[in-house]
Every structure is written in C-alpha cells, then in structure tokens.
Structure 1
Amino acid sequence: MTDDPTGLSGRLSLTSVVAFGISYMAPSLVMVLFGVVAATSGGTAPTAFLLATGAMTLTALSYAKMARRFPASGSAYAYARNTLGAPAGFLVGWVVLLDYLFLPMVAWLVQAVYLNAQFPAVPVWVWMLVNAGLTTLVNIIGLAFTDRVNKVLTCAAVLIVLLFAGYCLTHLVGHPPTSVAAPLWNADTTTLGVSAAAAVAAYSYLGFDAVTTLSEEARDPRRNIPRAVVLVVALGGLLFTTVAYVMQLVHPGGVFDAPDIAGYTMSVQVGGQSFADWTNLAGIVAGFGSGLAVQLSSSRLLYTMGRDGVLPKRVFGALNARTGTPVFCVLLTGAMCFVGLGLTLETATSFINFGAFLAFTAVNVCVVVHWARNPTSGRGSVIGHVVTPALGTCVTLYLMTRLSGQALLVGSCWLAAGIAYLLWLTRGFTRPTPGLAVDEDRGRAEAVPA
C-alpha cells in the first residue's frame, strides 16, 4: 500500500470523464421522473427540464472555475478548504460525505427494487448485494477497467433512452399531436408550477459535480475537468429536455393515472408490453453504470479526506500498490449496501440531497470569495465571478427549501456531529485542522501537517 499524496495517476481522457458524469446522472432518469414533472408543471415537462438545466448550469460554471484553480480530487471539500479556510472546508467535506456515502446505496437500492419488480422470485436484498458486489469488484480491479466498463454501460443507457424516443416518434406519425407548442407552454401552465417542477427535475442533475472528484486521475485536469463539468450538464440537459418534449407530445397535459410509472406506461403505449418489459430490463442493467460511477467518486472523496488526515490516514489515505485504487474506501462504500437493506427508497433518498445542495451553495460562495481576494485572477469579470455564482446560490438555497423535513433533520444532525468531531479533532481549535493545500500555479497537492 502507499499513502503518497499524489499517488492517483492522471490517465482519464475528457471523453472518459464526461462518460462518468453522464453515467452518474443516469440518462433513463428522464423517463422515471417525466410523469411527476409533467403533472407538477401542468403538462410542460420539457420547459421544466430546460429551466432546471439553466439553473444547474449556474452552479456548474462555479465548479468549472474552482476546478481550474484547485485541481484536487476533493471537489467542494478542497475548494472550500483552500478558499474559505480549513474549518469551513472540513464541514463542507463532512456534509458532502453524507451525500457520497449514501448515494451508492441509493443507486443499488433503485436497481434492486426494479429488478425485484421484474423478477419477484428474487428478494430485493439479494439484488442489492449482487449490485453492490459487482460494482465494488470492478472499482477495485482498477481505473482503466472501470473506465472501459463504464463507457459501454453509458452508451447502452443513452441508446435505450434514444430507442424509446424513436418509438415515441414512430407513434406520433400515426397519432399526430394537436399542438407542437403545448408541451412548452399551454393554458394550464403557471410560472409557479413550472418552477416547482424544475425543482423536481433538478434532482436529475445531481452528480454533475462528481467529475471533479476525478481531477487527479484526469489528463490535463485544469483544462478537461472544467470542460467536463459544463459538458455533462449541457449534454444531460439536452437529452432530458428533448426526450421530455417527445414524451409530452405523446401524452399531452399533466394528468396521469399513476405519474410515478408514466414512463413504463408510455413504453407499453408506443411499443407494446414486450418492448416495455425488455426496455425496462435493459435500462436496469445499463443503470448499473450509475452505481459504478457513484461508488468511484465516493471512494475518491473518502480517500482525499483520509490522505489529508481528516479521516484516519493509515486506513483511508492508502492506495493499493498494484491497482492504484483506494481499496478500503471502495470496500467501505460497498458495505453501505448493508445499511440500505433495512430502508425504503424514499427514506434512503432523503439522506442525500441536503449535502448535495449545501455543497453547491458552498462552491458558489467560494467563487465570489476567491475573486474578491484575487480580482485579477479571473479576468476581472464581475458577471462571471459574482453575479452568476450569486444566482447559483439563490437557486441551490431555494432547492434546499424544497427538501422534506426528514431530509433537513437528518442533514442538520449530521452537520452537528461534524462540528463536534471538528472540535475534538482540533481540541477546541487549539490545533490546526488537518487538510490539503493545493498550489494554484502548479496544481500539485501537498500534505499539510495536522
């Protein structure tokens, strides 16, 4: 094993990083969320997805700016530490940790629930263990192998969504829509309804930030990671908006018998029962890539915090000498599947969004603070370094207000535990907070003694 601070090797191309981001976001999610988004927006799902794309792009631009300046694998944690100070960075990292620990579990649980629905003879817990075991094995083998598997699965996931869209278009040939503009705005549309639907659609974009956890494993990270962040949101938004538009043409309006399964119902409508069943199964298999990407990014955050000494360095900050992967961190995220065995999908999902939106808010604030301290470092653009991240902050804070009371309670308790841990770690701030300093000029990560 090695705990070399710069042990992660940069080998991922821009295409590979973008593929991980797209896979993380799960292309088929537009089919899953369509019914709920269309019902909330009054039959204007594509407009809601378009608004969500624009809103999340504001924060994506902030991540791109910070990734260019601090090309470290810690993502929001590294940006906050180097911009807002070590204690703030620790707390951001701690809150994001809740998100990243539970995200793999949620991805596997979603897979398990759908596989159980398709093959009810096999219990959910068995599918859960199978999914977690397979992704853990792939991620342990090594980054090159994980990259190849992910590219195949990402292509499969996108092709399945495009195939479904193709069937929808074929259906429209025999059943032409009464209005091609109604899916964008109609008599039932309200600004409040579209904004509420956009808040739901925004959950489709959670994970675009995960590509920044691959900064130390990407080629030319100062150039490729910022590009990847923006490309993931842009490509995901284009796919979501376009498919939602086609689906809204097939099913005008926002009235559904069961909004939660509208995507599956429409698959039956446009292609028949067999097509719907096979598409559903293929989508489930392709969704394996989402769990793969989620676990990869989660293990990198744990590794970075371990390398910094925020978590026990000897255990979390070690890389396997042969594979170059943080094996313990991968195994720990894999072990989270056992926590998910006793949770419902709704409860598990409620754990993750608090950390994600708080991290988004922190990164937007980091851009403003960094520019205020270094007004000439960002080409002096007030719009790009103050106005845009300020708008991004407003969006993410609004999204936090849309979270359930349970999510806010769990997130707040986790944050309180982090504050207590920070006080113990620093002995009441009588010792420096351990962490990592990133040299902006050279882009090298250097250990800071605890």
Structure 2
Amino acid sequence: MDNTPAQGLNRALTLRSVVVFGLAYMTPMIVLGTFGVVAESTGGAVPTAYLLALLAMLFTAHSYGKMAAAHPVAGSAYTYVRRAIDSRVGFLVGWATLLDYFFLPMVIWLIGGAYLQAQFPGVPLWVWIVGFIVLTTALNVRGIRTAQRANDLLMAFQVLVIGIFIALSLRHVLVAEGVGTLAGSAPFANDATTLAGISAGAAIAAYSFLGFDAVTTLTEETIDPKRTMPRAIVLIALIGGGIFVAVAWATQLAHPGGTFDEPDSAAFGIARTIGGDLFSSVFLAGLVVAQFASGIAAQASTSRLLYAMGRDAVLPRRLFGRIHPRYRTPALNILLTGAVGLIALRLNLTTSTSFINFGAFVAFTFVNLAVIATYLRERRAGRRPGLLGSVIAPAIGATIDIWLLTNLDSKALVLGLVWLAVGICYLACLTRGFRTPPPELTFEEEHHALPERV
C-alpha cells in the first residue's frame, strides 16, 4: 500500500483564499503606519507615491505570475530561478529570501507588541511578543484551513477599521472645508511636491507591497495553481495598491501637507482628530489585529519556503522537508520560525526591519530575470513567446527593483551582503567548491509529493 500521498501538502486554497492570504501578508493598514514618513518625503503627496509604487510593483507581479504558472510548486523565487537560470544562483536567491521571510514575522510580532505595550505600559513587551508567537504558531500547525478561517475574520475587522477611517476622514473634510475639497488635486501634488520627493516616497511605499510574492509559497496547497496563482498575484497587487491609494488620499485630505510632530505615529494623531478617543482605541485594535493576521500569513509562507528547500535537500531534509502526518503542514518549520521570532525580544524595530528589504528586492530582481531566461530558452527551442510580456515588462521590473535595492540604507546593504557571503560559503561546501549542482527534486519525487486533494 502506497502511503506517499499522505506526505504531501493539502490542496485546499481557492483564488479567494490565496488573495486574502496575500492581502493579510501585505497588511493594508500599513499605509497608515507609515503615512507620516511618506508624507514628509513627498511634501504631502502620499497617494501619488503609492500610485508610482503600484505601477512599479505590477511589472514584478506580472513576472511572478508567469513563473508560478510555469512552475506550480512551493519555493517561490528560489524555485523559479534555479529552474530558469541555474541551481546555484537559485540557491543564493533562496538564501537571500530567507533573510526577508525569517525576519518579517519577527518584525510583525515586534510591531504588534509595541502597539500593545504603548496602550498597556504595565505589561512587559515580551509577554505580547510571546503571545503573538504562540497563537500564530498554533493556528499554522493545525493546518492551512484553520489559518485561512482565522485570517478571514481578522482581515474583515481590518477592512472595517480602514473603511471607518476613510469615512471619518471624509466627514472631517466635508465639515471643515466643504465638498469642493474632495475634487481637488492637493493630495496628489502641491507647491512642495518634487519628482525627487515622490521617488523617495515611492521607494518607502514599495515596501508596503511585500507580500504579493509570498503567496507563491502556497502553490502546492492551491487548487488549480497554474490558473489560480497568476490571477491571485496580480489581484493582490491591484487590490492592495488600490486600498493604499484610497486610504492615503482620504488621510492626506484630512491632514494636508507633510509636517507632523511625530511622523512615526502620525496616524494615531489623525485618528484622534477625526474620531476622538473612542475611535483612536478602535484604530489601535485594528492595527494590532492587522499585525496578527500578517503574522499568520508570514509564518505560513516562511515555513513553506523552508519545506521546499528541505525537500530539495539543500537544507537538511530530515528537519526541513518533513510534513506532519496528521495536520499535513511543515510543523517543524513553523515551530522553528516561531523560535526565531523570539530574537525580537533582543532587537529593536529598526535593526530587525533592516534585514528584510535586501532579500525581497534580490528575489524580485531575479524573478524578472528568470522570465527573460525562460524566453531565451523558449526561442532556442523554436517557440516564440510574446516579447512584451517575456522581455520588456520583466526588464522594466528588474531595473526598478535594482534601483530600489541600491537605495536601501547602508545598514541593510551591509547586513544583506554579510548574509549572502555566509550563503556562498555554505553553497561552496554543499557543491564541493561549486563543482556540482545543489541537490534537486526529481520529477517522480515531485509528482508523488503533490497529490491533488480538494
């Protein structure tokens, strides 16, 4: 009797489920958390910065969609690059991405804990962080369906808070300025707006889009992934970007310009102005819920990337390539991600956040290059894929991602390059001085590992 199928991940996610996971990972309320910083950079033109960032990210989202359709397995950028370009390059991209995936849940839990400690200063920060980790780990170990149902409820509340924030902002503007203000162009451009300022703001705003790519790690748990994943990736970028622009527009109307006493917490002051103390408390609850939902999605994605690399034996298979026999989740990877999150007890937000962006933009760049490499391979095989979608669009996406990468702060670049150097040393040992390719999953293993289960 062949029990191999029971070892695979469970296909249970629909298009809607994948989109909700992606939006939870992006955390739509993050636009309010960073509003003050972006407003200062743009001179009070936050929605324009988000429009530019959305346009930039759509090129990369398009490339992720093409690669997800061509390679409907877990692993995201790691898998796409190793199959389209080279297995060693793919490993290094996966290694760089681990920096992003491992540290993002930590940052999410750290932010959530900081919000709660600000409201309840008598409770130590570590209590909130450990609470976040325990709850999200338990939900993710139980299975993708359990995490999905929790995410649905948390996202609904987050969207409700966003809707109330927009409504109160518009009411505040109508009472103070009249209906004519709603049709003005001031939120998008004013006397203080410059191209350099908008570009700087877009570079910050682009970080809010990290997450549309992460859902590709759920490919093996998605129904009809070749059709569902490309649609989900673009929808996540579009819906998330639309929410960012709408919220930024309403908030910029309620608070014109880019001057704040405390730019890092500007949205709290705006929430109190438009809705009083009651709504500021609801707003805080929304931010905490948003971080919890994002933590569930981020931890789930991290564990799937580790599973893909463990199954390929580029990481120890016995540890990373295992599936829980009952819950059919990579339970050890989920527990490991939670354990790594405890490092947040010893780090501040600035230090931990600096790890994230390096890996994200390395992955974005190489996925765009993987699309171009696939095009060249198809041409050599006598096929003629479309030039626009297979070369021009990914080339634009790669150029934008390289620009974003080089504009990271020096600490992020140094830490990222050190992490990459460690990965190169590990790869040299794994491949006997780069003479052999890293281990790779065979077709037969992959076929048996991916049962179609609804």
TM-score, structure 2 as length reference: 0.94
Residue 378 of structure 1 deviates from its aligned partner by: 8.3
1:4-35 CA distance string (max 9 Å, x none)? 69711211000000000000001110111111
Q: Which of 373, 376, 382 is the matching residue for 2:377? A: 373
Spell out the pairing of 1:319-330 with structure 2 (5 A cutoff).
319-330=323-334
Aligned to 2:143: 142
Alignment-mate amino acid for residue 102 of structure 2: L
Partner of 2:308: 304
Cα distance per residue 1:274-302 (max 9 Å; x no partner): 21122212321242100000000000000
Identify which of 300, 320, 342 aligns with 2:346: 342
**How far apart in 2 are the matches of 1:420 and 1:382?**
37
The CA distance in 2 between the partners of 1:83 and 1:189, in whole Å, is 42
Q: Pairwise mapping of residues 120-139 of structure 1 onto structure 2 (< 5 A)?
A: 120-139=121-140
Question: Identity rate of aligned residues, in percent?
Answer: 48
Whole-angstrom distance in 2 between the partners of 1:438 and 1:24: 31
1:254 lines up with 2:258 in the alignment:
yes
8 Å Cα contact 1:3-1:307 kept in structure 2: no
- The equivalences for 1:97-108 within 5 A come to 97-108=98-109
Tell whether the 8 Å contact from 2:368 to 2:397 is kept in structure 1 after alignment. yes
Once residues 385 and 427 of structure 2 are traced to their aligned partners in structure 1, the CA distance between those partners, rounded to angstroms, is 35
**2:62 aligned residue:** 61
How much has 1:66 moved relative to structure 2? 0.4
Q: Is the 8 A contact 1:361 1:392 kept in 2?
A: yes
How many pairs align? 443
Per the alignment, residue 407 of structure 1 pairs with: 412
1:81-112 deviation digits (Å, cap 9, x = unpaired): 10111111111111111111111111111111
Say if 1:341 and 1:4 are closer, same or farther in 2 by CA, change over 3 A. farther
- Would you say the 8 A contact 1:97–1:355 is kept in 2? yes
Aligned to 2:39: 38
> CA RMSD, aligned part only?
1.9
User: Gaps (5+ residues) in structure 2?
Assistant: none
Residues 213-224 of structure 1 mapped to structure 2, 5 A cutoff: 213-224=217-228
Q: 1:184 aligns with which of 182, 188, 205?
A: 188
Matches for 1:137-216 after TM superposition, within 5 Å = 137-176=138-177, 178=181, 180-216=184-220
Contact 1:72 1:438 in 2 (8 A): no
Structure 1: gaps of 5 or more residues: none
Is 1:93 paired with 2:110? no
Local SS of the residue matching 1:435: coil
The alpha carbon displacement at 1:402 in A equals 1.9
Contact 1:70/1:438 (8 A) holds in 2: no
Residue 25 (structure 1) aligns with: 26
Match of 2:337 among 318, 333, 338: 333
- Residue 429 of structure 1 is matched in structure 2 by 434
Give the CA deviation at 1:431.
Answer: 3.5
Distance 1:268 1:354 in 2: 35
Measure the CA separation in 1 of the matches of 2:387 and 2:53: 24
The answer (yes or no) to whether the contact 1:68–1:223 under 8 Å persists in 2 is: yes
- Cα distance in 2 for partners of 1:55, 1:289 equals 26
CA distance in 2 between counterparts of 1:316 and 1:168 reads 48
Provide Cα deviations, 1:309-357, integer angstroms capped at 9, x if missing partner: 0111011101011000111000000001221110000000001110000
Question: Aligned partner of 1:120: which letter?
Answer: P
Provide closer, same or farther for how the CA distance between residues 437 and 242 of structure 1 changes in structure 2, counting only shifts above 3 A. farther
Corresponding letter in the other structure for 2:46: A
* Residues 160-201 of structure 1: CA deviation (Å, up to 9, x unaligned): 111111111111220126572111112211111101100011
Any residues of structure 2 matched to 1:436-447 within 5 Å, and which?
436=441, 444=447
Q: Paired residue for 2:284?
A: 280
Contact 1:368–1:389 (8 Å) recurs in 2 = yes
